[in-house]
Amino acid sequence: MRECARRSSLPFLSRRIKYSMAKSSKLTQIQNLLFGRPLATSEERAEHIGPIAGIPIFGLDALSSAAYGPEAALTLLIPLGMLGVRYIVPVSGAIVILLAIVYFSYRQTIEAYPKGGGSYTVASENLGANAGLLAASALMIDYILTAAVGISAGVGALISAVPSLHPYTLQLCLGVLLVLTIVNMRGVHDTGVVFMIPTYLFAGTLLIVIGVGAWHAIGGHAVPVTPLPAMPMATAVLGPWLLLKVFSSGCTAMTGVEAVSNGVMAFRDDTRKNAKITLTIIIVLLAILLIGIALLCKAYGVGATDPNGAQYESVLSMLTRAVMGHGWFYYLTIGSVLLVLALSANTAFADFPRLTRAIAGNNYLPHVFLLRGRRLLYSWGIYVLVALTALLLILFGGVTDRLIPLYAIGAFMAFTLSQAGMVVHWRRKGKSAGRMAMNGLGAVATGVTTLVVLVAKFAEGAWITALLIAVMIVLMRSVKTHYTRVAKETALDRPIAPAEIVEPIVVLPVDQWNRITEKALSFALSMSNDIRCLHVQIADEPDKICQIWEKDVAAPLRKAGKCVPKLEVLNSPYRYVLQPVVEYVLKVEKESDLRKVCVLVPELVVRHWWENLLHNRRADLLKVILLLRGNQRIVVVNIPWYLKRD
For residues 27-56, which are near a copy of itself according to CB under 8 A? 38-42, 44
- Residue 237 in 3-state DSSP? coil
Q: With CB under 8 A as the contact rule, which of the stretches 6-14, 301-309, 395-403, 435-443 interacts with a copy of itself? A: 6-14
3-class SS of residue 642: strand
* Nearest in space to 283 (alpha carbons), one of 307, 308, 256: 256
Residues 371-410 binding a copy of itself (CB under 8 A) are: 371-374
The answer to whether residue 632 forms part of the interface with a copy of itself (CB under 8 A) is yes
Q: Using the minimum distance from each CB to a copy of itself, give the nearer residue, 30 or 371.
A: 371
| Shortest Å distance, C-beta 335 to a copy of itself | 40
**In the complex, what is the shortest distance from the CB of residue 299 to a copy of itself, in angstroms, rounded to a whole number?**
55
- Nearer to a copy of itself among residue 99 and residue 133 (C-beta): 133
Q: Does 13 bind a copy of itself (CB under 8 A)?
A: yes
Q: Cβ 21 to a copy of itself, closest distance in Å?
A: 6
CB nearer to a copy of itself: pick between 171 and 547: 547
User: CA-to-CA distance for 531 and 524, rounded, in angstroms?
Assistant: 7
Of the pair 329, 523, the CB lying nearest a copy of itself is at: 523
According to the binding rule CB under 8 A, does residue 451 interact with a copy of itself? no
Our finding on whether 7 is near a copy of itself (CB under 8 A) is yes
- Nearest approach, Cβ of residue 595 and a copy of itself (Å): 9
Smallest gap, in angstroms, from Cβ of residue 523 to a copy of itself? 6
Using CB under 8 A, which of 166, 428, 551, 566 touches a copy of itself? 551
3-state secondary structure 595-620: CCEEEEEEEEECCCHHHHHHCCCHHH
Sign of CA dihedral 442, 68, 261, 478: positive
Indicate the residue among 129 and 605 with the shorter CB distance to a copy of itself.
Answer: 605
Q: Are 390 and 177 in contact (CB under 8 A)?
A: yes
**In 82-128, which ranges are continuous DSSP H helix?**
82-112, 119-127
In three-state secondary structure terms, 531 is strand
Among 575, 587, 590, 591, binds a copy of itself (CB under 8 A): 575
Map the footprint of a copy of itself across residues 132-151, applying CB under 8 A. none
**Is the CB of 428 or the CB of 566 nearer to a copy of itself?**
566
**Binders of a copy of itself among 205-224, rule CB under 8 A?**
none
Query: Which amino acid is it at 547?
Result: Q
**CA distances from residue 183 to 58, 153, 191, 275 in whole angstroms, order as listed:** 15, 20, 6, 22
Phi first, then psi: give them for residue 434, nearest 5 degrees.
-65, -45
Stretch that binds a copy of itself, among 63-71, 290-298, 306-314, 555-563 (CB under 8 A): 555-563
Contacts with a copy of itself by CB under 8 A: the residue count is 105
Cβ atoms of residues 34 and 182 within 8 Å = yes
Residue 366 Cβ vs a copy of itself, minimum distance, rounded to whole Å: 5
Determine whether 570 is exposed, middle or buried from the number of CB atoms within 10 Å of its CB (0-12, 13-18, 19+): middle
Judged by CB under 8 A, which of 240, 526, 542, 593 binds a copy of itself?
Answer: 526
Of 367, 402, 566, 590, which one interacts with a copy of itself (CB under 8 A)?
367
Among 368, 441, 466, 468, binds a copy of itself (CB under 8 A): 368
**Does 114 engage in binding with a copy of itself (CB under 8 A)?**
no
Element (H, E) at 508: strand 505-509
Cα separation, 298 vs 87, whole angstroms? 9
Selection from 314, 385, 354, 402 nearest residue 69 by Cα: 314
Segment 474-513, which members bind a copy of itself (CB under 8 A)?
479, 482-483, 485-486, 489-492, 494-504, 513
Q: Any contact of residue 517 with a copy of itself (CB under 8 A)?
A: yes
Q: Closest distance between a copy of itself and the C-beta of residue 358, in Å?
A: 16
Q: From CA 31, how far away is CA 37, in angstroms rounded?
A: 8
> Does the footprint of a copy of itself cover residue 311 (CB under 8 A)?
no
For residue 6, state whether it binds a copy of itself (rule: CB under 8 A).
Answer: yes
The answer to whether residue 587 forms part of the interface with a copy of itself (CB under 8 A) is no
φ, ψ at 370 (rounded to 5°):
-85, -15
Interaction of residue 562 with a copy of itself, rule CB under 8 A: yes
Q: Which lies closer to a copy of itself via its Cβ, residue 21 or residue 433?
A: 21
Nearest approach, Cβ of 181 to a copy of itself (angstroms)?
20
Considering only 36, 552, 592, 609, the residue that binds a copy of itself (CB under 8 A) is: 552
- Under a CB-based contact definition with an 8 Å cutoff, are residues 352 and 389 in contact? no
Which one, 211 or 640, has the nearer CB to a copy of itself?
640
Closest approach of a copy of itself to the CB of residue 392, in Å? 21
Asked whether position 190 contacts a copy of itself by CB under 8 A, the answer is no
Nearer to a copy of itself, 427 or 596 (CB): 596
Q: Which of 515, 542, 593, 594 binds a copy of itself (CB under 8 A)?
A: 515
Query: Is there a contact between 264 and 106 (Cβ–Cβ < 8 Å)?
Result: no
When the beta carbons of 34 and 82 are compared against a copy of itself, the nearer one is 34
Listed ranges 67-75, 177-185, 391-399, 630-638: which one lies at the site for a copy of itself (CB under 8 A) = 630-638
Q: Which stretch binds a copy of itself (CB under 8 A): 176-184, 318-326, 362-370, 442-450?
A: 362-370
Q: For residues 117 and 264, is the Cβ–Cβ distance under 8 A? A: yes
- Looking at beta carbons, which pairs linking 83-88 to residues 24 or more positions away fall under 8 Å? 83/234, 83/238, 84/234, 84/238, 84/303, 85/231, 85/297, 85/298, 85/301, 85/302, 85/303, 86/298, 87/238, 87/243, 87/246, 88/294, 88/297, 88/298
Q: Which residue, among 605, 624, 623, 625, has the nearest Cα to 615 in the 3D structure?
A: 605
Closest-CA residue to 119 (of 91, 87, 85, 143): 143
| Residue (of 62, 8, 572, 109) closest to 288 by Cα position | 62
